[in-house]
Structure 1
């Protein structure tokens, strides 16, 4: 039995006319009659009563019509689901990100994606940036949300949104009265920084300071940007943080722009280069706005 046998049978059962069924199927009547005869022979039952004037379903044909319709509906549902997965409209995506992204633009972008792709299950994995690349290469996650672009033979990055770095100062700090700062203005300050072994972004901030002519004097390190800002608010030092976090601490921390040459903390989606179809490209495209 082949799929066309079911389609031909259902068409004839619904039309009860070889002429109309053949027109509906875009075939001539002889092939239709042959397919129905083959189906009846394989089933060992007569499905239709044929006369010169009419075609009627037998009791066996009526029972078979229920099952045939169900099979075709299941196949159509499966076809639609496969197409939806291929188009990124259904499936599951595993996303790795650090805790600081929950405090910036990511939640709003994710809400936009969930609204446009309700058939995709999004699973978030909070992990340090240094662990995301290994998780991507091992296929434990599908996308990493990172402040460091990665482009090599396996991974590729897409900019999601820009995020310049600003200086974070404790309230009442002598530099807080200025409208803007240069990175070198912070050379004598104690710094609160992310741990360099946990974040490529942290290492980048250190190198930016070195390029500005000084090595930062690190007073305290942590693994989360929210903790960095809490320690700045407590007066333990100054910090270099993404501007998107500025709204979260209000008067507890003073944020100062660093000018046109400010370091960057832009947010990227990192994915495997072989993920060319399905949920991953669609997710990245919508998240990038």
Structure 2
């Protein structure tokens, strides 16, 4: 039994005429008759009653027609699904990210991507940057949305969007009227910092301050950028944060850093052996959609 025989059977059952069925299948009548005979022989069941005037389904034939249509429909749907997977139009993507990305362009990206790829399920998993790397290695997530590029034997990175770091200051701060600042001018300030054990970005800030000749005076350390910003807004200190994050928090002004670079650009980090077509499509769409903003 094969799919061709099942399709021939369904068409003949619908037409109940060998000539019309053969025409519909774009074959001659003898091959159709031969395939139906082979199917009946394999099943050991007579599917049609034939006479010189008419062709009719037997009772087993009517039951077999119901099941065959269901089978062919499932095969059709399965074919559509696997083709969609191969084209990156269907599937599931597990994304690891920290909460700071919800303050930037990511929500707009997810919304637009869900409209253009409705059959791809994108699941967001909030976790610390260091935990995202572990999750990638253990295949619990497909991609890490990260401010640290990683390129080694197992992992690789794709740049997604530019996001320079700025100084976040509370309203009324003595430096709040400045448009630009040198990092050395922050040496007397109290800082609200991310925990360095969980954030490569926080480590880079600490290193840049050390290069400028001072160790940050830490008022508070927190896990996530939103907590930093709300503490800055409350007047507990200042913070160096990605530019995309501070626009959503009131009672804060930001200043550009002019003499140092604190990398805050965003990358998609993934396993080199991840072959999900939907993942590649998602990352390309991320670059394009954010680039269009």
Same topology, TM > 0.5: yes
Q: Matched residues in 1 for 2:15 and 2:184: separation? A: 83
Q: Matched residues in 2 for 1:124 and 1:89: separation? A: 18
- The one-character-per-residue Cα deviations of 1:224-249 (angstroms, maximum 9, x if unpaired) are 11111222223332211111122222
Residue 273 of structure 2: aligned partner: 274
Residue 152 of structure 1: aligned partner: 152
Residue 14 of structure 2: aligned partner: 14
Q: Matched residues in 1 for 2:259 and 2:73: separation? A: 60
Residue 283 of structure 2: aligned partner: 284
- The one-character-per-residue Cα deviations of 1:106-131 (angstroms, maximum 9, x if unpaired) are 11111112222222333222111111
1:39 lines up with 2:39 in the alignment: yes
Deviation at 1:134, TM superposition (A): 0.7
Matches within 5 A, 1:220-235: 220-235=220-235
Matches within 5 A, 1:10-159: 10-52=10-52, 54-159=54-159
- The one-character-per-residue Cα deviations of 1:12-46 (angstroms, maximum 9, x if unpaired) are 22233434433443444333222111111223332
Matches within 5 A, 1:129-208: 129-208=129-208
Q: Matched residues in 2 for 1:249 and 1:31: separation? A: 74
- The one-character-per-residue Cα deviations of 1:160-217 (angstroms, maximum 9, x if unpaired) are 2211111112222222222211223223322221111010111122223334444433
Secondary structure at 1:237's aligned position in 2? Answer: coil
2:206 and 2:215 in contact (8 A); partners too: yes
CA RMSD of aligned residues (A): 2.2
Structure 2: runs of 5+ lacking an equivalent: none
Residue 252 of structure 2: aligned partner: 253
1:191 and 1:216 in contact (8 A); partners too: yes
Q: Matched residues in 1 for 2:150 and 2:20: separation? A: 61
Secondary structure at 1:114's aligned position in 2? Answer: helix
Mean Cα deviation higher: 235-244 or 193-202: 235-244
Secondary structure at 2:125's aligned position in 1? Answer: strand
Question: Measured at CA, do residues 153 and 19 of structure 1 come closer, stay the same or move farther in structure 2, by a change above 3 Å?
Answer: farther
1:87 and 1:277 in contact (8 A); partners too: no
Q: Matched residues in 2 for 1:93 and 1:155: separation? A: 17
2:101 and 2:245 in contact (8 A); partners too: no
Structure 1: runs of 5+ lacking an equivalent: none
Secondary structure at 2:66's aligned position in 1? Answer: helix
Q: Matched residues in 2 for 1:277 and 1:244: separation? A: 29
Residue 5 of structure 1: aligned partner: 5
Question: For this pair of structures, how many residues does the alignment match?
Answer: 288
Deviation at 1:139, TM superposition (A): 0.6
1:275 and 1:281 in contact (8 A); partners too: no
